[in-house]
Amino acid sequence: MLEMVRNGIGEIMTSTHDGQRKRSAVITGAGSGLGRDIALGLAAKGYRVFGTAMSLDEIADLKKASGGAVNLGQCDITNEAAVKVWAGEVTIQNEGRMDLLISNAGILTPGPLEVLPLNAIRHEFEVNVFGALAVVNSFLPALRKARGRIVQVSTMTATLPFPFNGPSGASKAAFDALAAVYRAELKPFGIDVVLAVAGNMRTGGPAKTAPPSSESPNR
């Protein structure tokens, strides 16, 4: 028989009567940057970690770096049907429950609003807002069963917009508002919703996600 307990630092664990504890976590955007570091850190703490990555090379790299403790898959979070399939597969491997969801995947579309293509801005909202919604909603049954926790990785530009970073700040601000609603709606089910506001980091995000400029020497 399983029961949920919280340890002294707020980590949520699945405890069995024979003393074994198995914790599960899922992280989007875990193939590189901040997501990769989080995945490795949770694996080192004994979590069984699942997540998404952009490439097969990232999947192989993290599997090797974690000694097989991190299991990643390729999933386009803007494809709701694909997200549901992936979430279902992960949930089955964890007896229908998930202790921790870290919604970290996101893209950046830097540049002046005057010249950014609207399709590029729409795509950023598809990833940072609607994709994140699809992931959270797909894992809610498992999180509800475990009385788990959702951590949404945000950014300081959601509340302090910077020039040439408009789409990122606006899309993150939009999901911050949704996170506040989730927090109120899910509290009766024992699910915590936390915003983790990140500052400047060398994650390679702009180079990986921004469309290449016609003047770029690397094109």
- Residues contacting 146, CB < 8 A, separation 6+: 4, 12, 14, 24, 97, 98, 99
pLDDT value at position 204? 55
pTM over 0.75: yes
How far, in Å, CA of 72 to CA of 29, rounded? 10
Confidence of residue 198 (pLDDT cuts 50, 70, 90): confident
pLDDT value at position 20? 60
pLDDT value at position 214? 39
Q: In order of start, what are the domains of the chain with their CATH numbers?
A: 20-200 (3.40.50.720)
Which tokens belong to 92?
Answer: 């089955």
Answer for the pair 205, 29: CB distance below 8 angstroms, yes or no.
Answer: no
Answer for the pair 48, 26: CB distance below 8 angstroms, yes or no.
Answer: no
Answer for the pair 77, 131: CB distance below 8 angstroms, yes or no.
Answer: yes
How far, in Å, CA of 66 to CA of 42, rounded? 10
Residue closest to 91 by CA, chosen among 19, 144, 31: 144
Q: E strands, the chain, where?
A: 2-6, 12-16, 21-27, 47-53, 70-74, 100-103, 149-155, 192-198
Mean pLDDT confidence for 172-177: 97
Answer for the pair 196, 151: CB distance below 8 angstroms, yes or no.
Answer: yes
Average pLDDT value for the chain = 86
The per-residue pLDDT for range 76-119, each reduced to its tens digit, is 999 999 999 999 999 999 999 999 999 999 999 999 999 999 99
pLDDT value at position 22? 77
Long-range contacts of 82-89 (CB under 8 A, 24+ apart): 83/131, 83/134, 83/135, 83/138, 84/134, 84/138, 86/52, 86/138, 87/26, 87/135, 87/138, 87/139, 87/142, 88/138
Q: Is the pLDDT of residue 23 over 70?
A: yes
